[in-house]
Amino acid sequence: MNSFYRKNGPVIATFFLVAIIFWLIFLIVIPQLYMLDLSFRPNLPPLLRGGPDDVYTLTHYKHFLYGSETSKDAYNYVDIGVFLDTIITAVLVTVINLCFCYPIAFYIAKLATPNTARLLVLALVIPFWINELLRSFAIRILFAGEGVINNILLELGLITTAVNFIALDIALYTGLTYAYILLMIFPLYNALESLDTNQLEAAKDLGSSTLRTHWRIVIPHAKAGIASGCTMVFMLTAGALATPVVLSSPNTYWFTQLIYQWFNMNDNWSRGSAYSIILLVVSVTFVLLMMRLFKVTIGEVVR
Amino acid sequence: MSAEVELQNVSIAFGNFYAAKNVNVKIGAGEFFSFLGPSGCGKTTLLRAVSGFLEPSQGKVLIDGQDMSGIGPNKRPTSLIFQNLALFPLMSVADNIAFSLEVRGHDKKSRRKRADELLDLVALNGQGDKKVHELSGGQKQRVAIARALAVEPKVLLLDEPLSALDLKLRQKMRTELRAIQQRVGITFIYITHDQGEALTMSDRVGVMNDGELEQVGTCYDVYEAPCTPFVATFVGENNAFFGKVEKVESGKVKVQTGGSSFIGQAGLGLDNKNYKFKAGDEVIMFVRPEAISLKGNSKKAQNSFSAEVKTIEFEGNLKNIFLRSAEDVDIRFSVPSSSDTSGMEPSKNVSLSFSQDNAVVLPTGALALD
């Protein structure tokens, strides 16, 4: 602590400490603890809070699993279904994202000239200066019944009637994939950039095909970057709200939309908190399991 | 199996810049050939053209008489050892060595067998299961050689692979590389800026400067009979006396330099004939440091001059003596450390001499920068 002060001077050192402590305590620890606490409490009107009825209960978690007491179903098929759908779709979106971003990142990191690389990065970044909601609407317009894509396909004679991309959730997958593309590309780029180009040439000189070189040399090298990108994209996709609201078909529900409903429309913050905690815990567990499976450590991912 | 490598009028351009200009050379099967030149002279570019990572802008690369244009590095009978070795850090030593066999679909057992054989060849028995980072610099070097040999190339290309090693290890690896080359009997093409490396290992050396191949010859030829002032100064040390031809007599050239005249031999040109000089030609006379001696020490010495001692440098086995001659030429010569140099304190004038046979006269041209 002393050396930290000596190194940075009293003003900057104090600022750093205050900023970091504020960020950790007020923006991360307290809200999460509050939500955790709330999720175990009954949903009471303000007057009764802290009264004799305000005791810890598992009612909200039970609701997620078994549904309301009046329901006849053994399990809460609707909510669990939406939840599983969300997780599976998020995995799918992450995989699609990786498949798209890996070649782009590899091209920028290893093949493009510095100028082309800069232009490409700019082209990737600039669309993200626009608000996520607006981007989602733009995609909705592209995929609409009489949107650009349908018109082009009709014009080319590839289809005879307009495709309902929204109902097929193609618009949703596209929007979600695009929404976090940068969070996949940048970790990938970082990892690939540090790969010695001679390794690629050495592999080629030894007779390796491009595919094998990627499989045996490039991907193992970039593993931590891939894990880092996938983690971020998966977490953010599973927790996305704006894109699903704008792009999902009327009969597709995203789990965050449920959470949003409990908080805002049904005014049941406790249940909303419980649902949030479920999403958080399951997502984190899933990511940790995947990391175990692919033998990546957290240290490598956050590097 | 070794192969002959021939470069025919090879030029390689990057935009307007020519990294290699009209290079012609024929490297024999089983030969250890070195391209020697300063950094940036285009030797690495030339090697990349042989390995297939670059296509020559003009000219052809032939391996065993077969035109290699359009054939990629993975299809040529060559194998390249990179300057930084480019071993695969995430694979074990054995997997590194057997990577080319894995690519060709050999099963695990035969790959391991071959890797072990190659580890034997480079004296690394039993190190196959180690990770690359667990090896020392010299061991990594051997792994790189074994990996390159695993493809059973006809030609092994080496891009300054010893440059990262310290002096002792480098000297040891020279001997070893040469021994390995003789054991496997394939053509080695070696790139280096270190003339010591080139001279100790090679059968023949090609000296490059500024994209051009200035001279090709045995190590002895290149050292003793340089064709150009660049070769004379780049390979080994040399003293250069600039001057004009006074007269030519039965192969001996009398050169007027500063106030004195020295007699020397006309050097050999690229066509292997002695240069023909006439009176008045601008020339440079080259005299090796070891050819200069204190006057009176040698009876053969027939050119003499006096010079002022500047500094004396102790280099273990030798003493290097730096002087400035009366003609304002910087002179360097060396004597064994055991020699008595008591009369040679700085600022003293001494008389020196060298034999006519040891003075090579060449037309003027660019010298190698020290």
pLDDT in tens, B51-93: 999 999 999 999 999 999 889 888 899 999 998 999 999 999 9
Answer whether A207 sits within 8 Å of B104, measured CB to CB.
yes
Answer whether A199 sits within 8 Å of B86, measured CB to CB.
yes
Question: Who contacts B295 (Cβ-Cβ below 8 Å, separation ≥6)?
Answer: B301, B304, B350, B351, B352, B353
Nearest by CB to B74, from A196, A199, A208: name it: A208
Answer whether B82 sits within 8 Å of A201, measured CB to CB.
yes
Contacts of A206 in chain B (CB under 8 A): 74, 79, 99-100, 103, 147, 150-151
Answer whether A196 sits within 8 Å of B84, measured CB to CB.
yes
Cβ neighbours of B58 (radius 10 Å): 14
ipTM entry: 0.81
Crossing angle of helices A181-193 and A114-125, rounded to 10°: 160
Rounded CA-CA distance B74/A209 in Å is: 8
- Residue ranges of chain B that CATH labels 3.40.50.300: 5-224
- Going by C-alpha positions, the residue among B228, B211, B170, B249 that lies closest to residue B361 is B228
Q: What is the pLDDT of residue B298?
A: 56
Cβ atoms A19, A32 nearer than 8 A: no
Kindly calculate the radius of gyration of chain B based on its CA atoms and give it in whole angstroms: 24
Whether B306 shows a pLDDT value over 90: the answer reads no
Answer whether B103 sits within 8 Å of A206, measured CB to CB.
yes
Which amino acid is residue B312, in one-letter code? I
CB contacts < 8 A, A to B, total 60
Write down the CATH number for the domain with range B5-224.
3.40.50.300
Rounded CA-CA distance B12/B56 in Å is: 5
Banded pLDDT at A285 (limits 50, 70, 90): very high
Among A66-75, A243-252, B13-22, which range has the highest average pLDDT? B13-22
For domain B237-363, the CATH architecture is Beta Barrel (2.40)
- Residue ranges of chain B that CATH labels 2.40.50.140: 237-363
- DSSP 8-state symbol, B268: B
Nearest CA in chain B to A220: B90
User: Pairing relation of β-strands B204-209 and B32-36?
Assistant: parallel
Q: Please, where are the H alpha helices in chain A?
A: 2-8, 10-22, 30-39, 59-66, 77-106, 114-125, 132-143, 148-155, 170-179, 181-193, 197-205, 210-213, 219-238, 242-247, 255-260, 269-293, 298-301
Contacts of B82 in chain A (CB under 8 A): 198, 201-202
CATH superfamily for A67-301 is: MetI-like (1.10.3720.10)
In chain A, domain spans: 67-301
Answer whether B103 sits within 8 Å of A209, measured CB to CB.
yes
pLDDT in tens, A132-153: 889 999 999 999 888 889 999 9
